[in-house]
Amino acid sequence: MNILDIIAKKVKKLELTKNELEFAVTGYVKGEIPDYQMSALLMAIMLNGMTEKETACLTEVMLNSGDKLTFDYNIVDKHSTGGVGDKTTLVLVPLVASLGTKVAKMSGRGLGHTGGTIDKLEAIEGFNTNLTVEEFKKEVEEIGASIAGQTGDLCPADKKIYALRDVTGTVASIPLIASSIMSKKLASGANKIVIDLKVGIGALMTNLEDARKLANLMVKIGRLSGKEVIVVLTNMNEPLGYAVGNALEVHEAIDTLKGQGPKDLEELVINLASLMVSLDQNIPMEILLENVERALKDGEAYEKFKEIILYQGGDINNIKIADNITEVIAENDGYVKSIDALKIGELARRLGAGRVKKDDIINPKVGIVLTKKVSDEVKKGDVLAKIYYDNTIIPTQDVLECFKITKEKVEKPKLIYEIIKE
């Protein structure tokens, strides 16, 4: 068996066996298969897809590439497929923990134009995302929640392939996304899993049809593994909230935890938190919504967030943002018809907020903060957005072109499309 034959087989759109997938993945993790050959296999998968059987086998291979966590109590986990301005985890984890449900959250770094939770948390001075398994489990047990990067021994295959996908144009592959997410979730010891699957121009899944395929695939993989998985399809045609950029998003998450956040972010975290607590405590989601909103508004969730930050060595009062700010000015009166989330994410990456190569160093201080959202009224001369920059600046015209202004009034877009359980 050799990697060239495996690549050629997938190029011919043939189904790979579990042994072939194990050979490729294990060889790559051990360094026996180089980046360029694994990249070729990933691209063949990206272009030609995988069967459900192949995807389940790939998930199992990645799951078994390292250790698996176990807990003596119920753990509910959440995952997002990534979007522009998606700081949901920073609000959701402490919110759920403040309601008595334990959350063991292992997160990743940025993929493509989307930001990663670990990158955002590292914008907090001193915050340690590199916990050992023992430290991770101890924090969950003692304070009810932890947010950390993948340990070296937990799904090392996914960790290495995840970084390679980011820089080889193979991010938006349904089987690769499903196997990546589910291998991590199954390895992290969660009994119940809620997945926030972003849909739209700024997401990995750009349309509802593909999103439903991915959602059903993940639900099926979860069921085969004895785990309950719920997938929520949410809108990512415009950035979530206003801030795009690591430190800027942390500040917005803190505002939200103080009850002063953007309405779309609040709506999303309240619904996701209600689902997570419902799964854990066996209480109907509808009954929980009011209690969850109260926990967000009255400061309970913020206190839990401060507890997590302190426990992991961070200084919540030391989250620096760039000093240089340029405003983007509206040229016409009207209403915001659309905001191109993909272009906003790519522009933030050009500022230094994301990666082009897997070893690129992110500048946590830079990014873009919108001041208008879809359906908002705009007057000529209004500020549409602010660009926060250090050494690299982008033309304000590039950001301006992300906004489409129309004379007609625009309806507020729907945030949550549907919830998929079976």
> Mind telling me the catalytic residues?
79, 158, 165, 180, 184
Measured distance CA(66)–CA(148) in Å, rounded: 17
Strand residues in 144-274 grouped as ranges (E): 145-149, 192-199, 228-235, 243-244
Torsion angles phi and psi, residue 232, rounded to 5? -110, 120
Asked if 306 contacts 340 with a C-beta cutoff of 8 angstroms, the reply is no
Stated as kind and residue range, the H or E segment containing 71 is none
Asked if 239 contacts 399 with a C-beta cutoff of 8 angstroms, the reply is no
Asked if 195 contacts 180 with a C-beta cutoff of 8 angstroms, the reply is no
What token pair was written down for 138? 């101890």
DSSP-derived secondary structure letter, 351: I
Asked if 379 contacts 367 with a C-beta cutoff of 8 angstroms, the reply is no
Asked if 231 contacts 223 with a C-beta cutoff of 8 angstroms, the reply is no
Measured distance CA(140)–CA(147) in Å, rounded: 9
Measured distance CA(290)–CA(244) in Å, rounded: 29
Measured distance CA(240)–CA(237) in Å, rounded: 9
Measured distance CA(209)–CA(41) in Å, rounded: 25
Helix (H, G, I), strand (E, B) or coil at 200: coil
- Please state, as a whole number, how many other Cβ atoms lie within 10 Å of the Cβ of residue 246: 31
Helix (H, G, I), strand (E, B) or coil at 20: helix
Q: Provide, for the chain, the percentages of residues in helix, strand and coil under a 3-state DSSP scheme, each rounded to the nearest 5.
A: 45, 15, 40
- Please state, as a whole number, how many other Cβ atoms lie within 10 Å of the Cβ of residue 387: 24
Measured distance CA(157)–CA(234) in Å, rounded: 28
